[in-house]
Amino acid sequence: MVSAALKGGVGKTTTSVYLAALAASGRRSVTLVDADPQASAAEWIEYAADERLLKVSVVEAPTERLLGKALDRAGADDVVVVDTPPAHERLLTRALGRADVVVIPTRVGGIETSRVEAVLEVVPPDTPTGLVVCSARTYTRSYQEALGSWSESGITVWGTVPERVAITAGPDGPLCPDGLEAYRQVWRRAQTAARSARAR
């Protein structure tokens, strides 16, 4: 599972960490591959105060070679979540080429739609892909308009994560219940899409 965005600050690392935590609640081995040189996801898990993250292994892979090695080591039944770096299209493309499923974190407003479309252009055909709207103010007109625009464009939205300071707090506290609830929907939809793709 690849968390992909071409811009920082849209919730990519938060998405990666929460999805890894939810994956770790099952019986499968879970690895978070941090391909971002800033290593924010690796640091979050290393210093996490939440026991859900204790079952998540971390591999830092900020180059194409290291990313390839990390993905090659994963077993067939393992869950691997890749946190990709912003503004590094070659590394992103390498990760997307190995993805079973792609999650694109985004926010509402500004030029976010064009950035989503830019990521979609490099996702291999037939790879299940969905958006997660992060730090969303669901009561706003801009949110509703964005959902309508994505729907008209045939872009699937797998979930919406509400704007909460606790969700993006990092390793200083436990994972936020509201965040876990929102990302659980994303996780389930991503899993369903991946299974459907494999069954084709």
Q: Kindly report the average pLDDT of the chain as a whole number.
A: 92
Other CB atoms closer than 10 Å to residue 111's CB: what's the count?
9
Q: Which among 156, 38, 141, 17 has a CA at the least distance from the CA of 91?
A: 38
For position 6, what pLDDT does the model report? Answer: 87
CATH of domain 2-199: 3.40.50.300
What mean pLDDT comes out for the span 2-19? 93
* Mean per-residue pLDDT, 100-127: 89
Which tokens sit at 198? 């494999």
- Whether residue 196 has pLDDT greater than 90: no
**103 pairs with which residues across the strands?**
3, 130
Cα–Cα distance list, 8 to 44, 54, 104, 107 (Å) = 16, 26, 12, 11
Residue ranges of domains in the chain? 2-199
Contact 52, 175 (CB under 8 A): yes
Residues near 57 by beta carbon (within 8 Å), at least 6 away in sequence: 29, 30, 31, 32
pLDDT higher than threshold 90 for residue 166: yes
Residue 91 Cα to chain centre, angstroms: 15
CA distance 195 to 122: 22
Q: What is the pLDDT of residues 77-113, one digit of tens each?
A: 689 999 999 878 899 999 999 999 999 999 987 667 7
In whole angstroms, what is the distance from residue 159 CA to residue 147 CA?
11
Q: Is 8 helix (H, G, I), strand (E, B) or coil?
A: coil
pTM to 2 decimal places: 0.94
Q: What is the pLDDT of residue 46?
A: 92
User: How confident is the model at residue 110, as a pLDDT?
Assistant: 65
pLDDT tens-digit map of 36-78: 999 999 999 999 878 889 999 999 999 999 999 999 988 776 8
